[in-house]
Amino acid sequence: MSKITFLGAGSTVFVKNVLGDSMLVPSLQGFELALFDINPERLKESESMLRNIQASNGSKCRIVAYSDRKEALRGAKYVVNAIQVGGYDPCTITDFEVPKKYGLRQTIADTLGIGGIFRNLRTIPVMMDFARDIREVCPDAWFLNYTNPMAVLTNVMNTHGGVKTVGLCHSVQVCVDHLFDGLGMEKEGVRSRIAGINHMAWLLEVTKDGVDLYPEIKRRAAEKQKEKHHDMVRYELMLKFGYYVTESSEHNAEYHPYFIKKNYPELIERFNIPLDEYPRRCIDQIKRWGEMRDSIVNNASLSHERSHEYASYIFDAMETNVPFKIGGNVMNTGLITNLPKEACVEVPCLVDASGVTPTYVGDLPPQLAALNRTNINTQLLTIEAAVTGKKEHIYHAALLDPHTSAELSMDDIVSLCDDLIEAHGDWLPKFR
């Protein structure tokens, strides 16, 4: 029996989408859906939820919850990763509150910035444990990573974990829809091409019937910037650098040195930047889960319709050899020629029985490559810190971070890193 293993299966709503989708796919009938989570209560809830769906749709998949991670992975053909190390409390709180003492504010803190660096440092050791298990009990498995920070973790699993890994992010999937809906433009029949790095990939081409739509997009965006809206940072980046970026404005506000500045507080108001957004989302998500839990976990007639999540389409393409196109995070094997070969890039990929085949992009426009490299610098130094165990590379990663370095002195950045290392305690490995 073939097996799909879900690590972090306590993410019940996401499990519903990924494995609920898989239960509806003909080529995946008979697969074992293996669930693993370190929280036994949440694991049981996800198992109950899937059994409810199975009772409603008659899927022939086999649902098994495991208390032993290695056994959950044993013989897996596909592994889905959706873990969050340290959760909202204590680690996310630490990522936000300690930097505030230095006047350093953040919005999401899960990808880059000082919060992204430390989220990586506590997650990479767990990912390396996964990789060791995978090499031992399912060495040919494809690892689908949904966990942030996407670029670093996907990079680490490929280069240091020895695991066939593709990173999957929603931002590419929804980029054109969000842009066109926000500007009131018709998106039917639109063709696009997107490439760059995760959370900072670029809408390089957007056409309809062979006509370049960027002039009209920029005209409408410039007009819309005269009033408050929720995508002001991305519009501003597009109007200054020429291209629309895939990830949201609240994310991109902290990937650049231009928007969150304690000496220019008016920028927060001008660009409608939601500081401390991620903690608010966490609190809201915890509340909503309490309200919706019974309707999912204890609903014997629970139904499910296939979502737009890439995972089940990837499984199906590999099983049937019918190609499917995704935006995937992969290593830069000459795909984007003016970004470092050591980087993880986000490019169009074709999926079929041979696996994930990324497509060649060539040079990005030079200003876009330059912006990407500012983020790649911090990503690569974060990996260096995790792999070598050297504290100095944590400092280097933070000193090179665009937002952190725009706000703090070198001495304060080093001091902040030391404070975060102490505050995280045993959530981090020991650095020398």
For 298-343, write each residue's pLDDT tens digit: 999 999 999 999 999 999 999 999 999 999 999 999 999 999 999 9
Instruction: Report d(CA 401, CA 341) in Å as an integer.
Output: 20
- 196: CATH: 3.90.1820.10
- Residue partners of 398: CB distance under 8 A and separation at least 6: 114, 117, 378, 404, 405, 413, 414, 416, 417
**Mean pLDDT score across all residues of the chain:** 97
The question of whether 251 is a catalytic residue gets the answer: no
Report whether 315 contacts 321 (CB < 8 A): no
Report whether 4 contacts 18 (CB < 8 A): no
The answer to whether residue 365 is domain-embedded is: yes
The answer to whether residue 13 is domain-embedded is: no
Strand partners, 336: 362
The answer to whether residue 169 is domain-embedded is: yes
**Which contiguous run of DSSP H or E holds residue 166?**
strand 164-167
The answer to whether residue 93 is domain-embedded is: yes
The answer to whether residue 355 is domain-embedded is: yes
* Upstream peptide bond of 257 is cis (omega within 30 degrees of 0): no
Report residue 419's pLDDT band, with 50, 70 and 90 as the boundaries: very high
- Residue partners of 425: CB distance under 8 A and separation at least 6: none
The answer to whether residue 366 is domain-embedded is: yes
Report residue 426's pLDDT band, with 50, 70 and 90 as the boundaries: very high
The answer to whether residue 97 is domain-embedded is: yes
Report whether 20 contacts 50 (CB < 8 A): yes
Q: What is the pLDDT of residue 356?
A: 98
The answer to whether residue 247 is domain-embedded is: yes
Locate 166 and state its tokens: 């593709």
The residue range of the domain holding 360 is: 77-297+308-432
Q: Domain count for the chain, please give it.
A: 1
Give the torsion sign (CA, 381, 383, 388, 392): positive
- Out of 160, 170, 178, 396, which one is annotated catalytic? 170
Q: At what angle do helices 113-137 and 93-100 cross, to 10 degrees?
A: 150
Nearest CA among 223, 233, 185 for reference residue 207: 185
Mean pLDDT over 147-168 rounds to 98
What three-state secondary structure class fits 109? coil
Q: Is the pTM of this model over 0.75?
A: yes
